[in-house]
């Protein structure tokens, strides 16, 4: 074996995930040293945050950050990388906690969502529902503050700050804008495919895939060519990922996906899938879509009728084609990118599994 050979599991995803969790646990299971301990129930917030963040998760954003670092030629002292990666996960916890409030979602990762869980723990209060929501707003806020704290603890060099922070800021602005557009669109029957794609791009392609990769690469000191190569791979892949997610949300097997196959239709989620169906619907189909879509009382029969329309209009097949095209574009981008082989291999694996998945 050559002396500098890369060990086979250098980019083993499970291994990387464990290291990310270790950094997160180290940061969350102790109180920040800057805050003198306040006795009593205020600690409930810190505990709730640790429980939320440390519940098993895919850690897709921190993983992509680590991969970006390798793609950018990163080597040597990795301490900052792990803190930056952990900071992305904490930021994501903030986004999830607040999204769940806005969507009135009762569950998250197979457990009660944060606001439900606070409401249950304080069921003795007359205002337990409102209290749960308010406490969850604060919990999300705390997650964002802690994301910054761990970022500050990383002590980026001025060069790293200049390269990394504008990307992070862009990512944070993107996801908030995407969520706002999503709020505006939810519940309206529209054929505005471009708008659905914009939300997809902001909330998934950029926020979940492109920026995490770029942030890691920028930390490693990558130049503009590498950052562009990251985008060329990430944007189509992220779009494909979300399109698959939309299909699974309506055509997936709830026993496999772990979530309802009616919820997106019931809440009136403005997906590309639905926009395509609206554009292609005949008069009778459009009348049914308008009647059923976003109806909070939508039952299994109604959902089945909607699914038939999504099929008959060819919307489902069109989304499958969009996914295939985008996956091909992501892989072609990798061909051109010439990332280090061990990074290239993992990114190909991610492209394959995230697009073909059943959950």
Residues that bind a second copy (CB under 8 A): 32, 34-35, 38, 40-42, 44-45, 94, 98, 101-102, 104, 125-127, 130-131, 134-135, 137-138, 140-142, 144-145, 148-149, 152, 155, 157-158, 161-162, 165-167, 169-170, 172-174, 176-177, 179-181, 183-184, 187, 195, 198, 202
Closest CA relative to residue 216, chosen from 88, 352, 27, 57: 88
Per the document, the length of the chain is 359
CA dihedral in degrees (29, 34, 38, 41; nearest 10)?
-40
Q: How far is the CB of 32 from a second copy (least distance, A)?
A: 6
Q: Which is nearer to a second copy, 209 or 347 (CB)?
A: 209
Q: How far apart are CA 110 and CA 75, in angstroms?
A: 37
CB of 137 to a second copy, least distance (A): 6
Provide CB contacts within 8 A for 44, sequence distance 6+: 121
Please state the separation of Cα 330 from the chain's center in Å.
18
Question: C-beta of 38: minimal distance to a second copy in Å?
Answer: 6
Residue number, 187 or 340, with CB nearest to a second copy:
187
Provide the minimum distance between the beta carbon of 114 and a second copy in the complex, in angstroms, as a whole number: 13
Tokens in use for 210?
């492109």
Q: Which is nearer to a second copy, 70 or 203 (CB)?
A: 203
Q: Which is nearer to a second copy, 141 or 263 (CB)?
A: 141
DSSP string, 88-142: HHHHHHHHHHHHHHHHT--EETTEE-HHHHHHHHTTTSTTHHHHHHHHHHHHHHH
In angstroms, give the least distance from the CB of 264 to a second copy. Answer: 17
> Rounded to the nearest whole angstrom, what is the least distance from the CB of residue 56 to a second copy in the complex?
26
Rounded CA gap, 51 and 25, in Å? 10
The DSSP symbol for 170 reads: H
Report the residue number, 138 or 331, with the smaller CB distance to a second copy. 138
Q: Which is nearer to a second copy, 53 or 315 (CB)?
A: 53
């Amino acid at each position: 074996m050559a002396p500098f050979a890369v060990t086979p599991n250098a980019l083993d995803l499970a291994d990387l995930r464990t290291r990310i969790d270790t950094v997160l646990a180290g940061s969350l299971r102790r109180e920040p040293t800057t805050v003198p301990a306040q006795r009593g129930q205020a600690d409930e917030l810190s505990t709730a945050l640790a429980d939320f963040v440390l519940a098993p998760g895919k850690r897709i954003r921190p993983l992509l950050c680590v991969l970006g670092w390798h793609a950018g030629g990163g080597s040597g002292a990795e301490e900052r990388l792990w803190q930056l990666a952990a900071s992305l996960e904490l930021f994501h916890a903030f986004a999830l906690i607040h999204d769940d409030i806005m969507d009135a979602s009762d569950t998250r990762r197979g457990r009660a969502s944060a606001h439900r869980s606070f409401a249950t723990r304080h069921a003795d209060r007359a205002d337990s529902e409102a209290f749960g929501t308010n406490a969850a707003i604060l919990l999300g806020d705390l997650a964002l503050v802690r994301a910054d704290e761990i970022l500050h603890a990383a002590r980026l060099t001025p060069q790293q700050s200049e390269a990394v922070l504008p990307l992070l800021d862009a990512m944070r602005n993107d996801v908030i804008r995407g969520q706002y557009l999503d709020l505006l669109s939810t519940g309206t029957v529209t054929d505005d495919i471009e708008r659905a794609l914009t939300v997809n791009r902001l909330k998934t392609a950029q926020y979940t895939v492109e920026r995490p990769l770029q942030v890691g690469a920028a930390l490693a000191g990558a130049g503009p060519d590498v950052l562009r190569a990251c985008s060329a791979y990430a944007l189509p892949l992220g779009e494909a990922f979300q399109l698959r997610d939309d299909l699974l949300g309506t055509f997936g097997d709830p026993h496999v996906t772990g979530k309802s196959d009616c919820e997106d239709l019931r809440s009136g989620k403005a997906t590309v899938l639905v926009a395509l169906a609206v554009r292609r619907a005949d008069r009778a189909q459009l009348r049914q879509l308008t009647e059923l879509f976003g109806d909070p009382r939508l039952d299994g029969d109604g959902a089945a009728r909607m699914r038939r329309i999504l099929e008959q209009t060819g919307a489902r097949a069109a989304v499958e084609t969009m996914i295939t095209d985008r996956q091909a574009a992501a892989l072609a981008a990798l061909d051109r990118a010439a990332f280090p082989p061990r990074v290239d291999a993992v990114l190909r694996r991610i492209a394959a599994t995230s697009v073909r998945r059943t959950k």
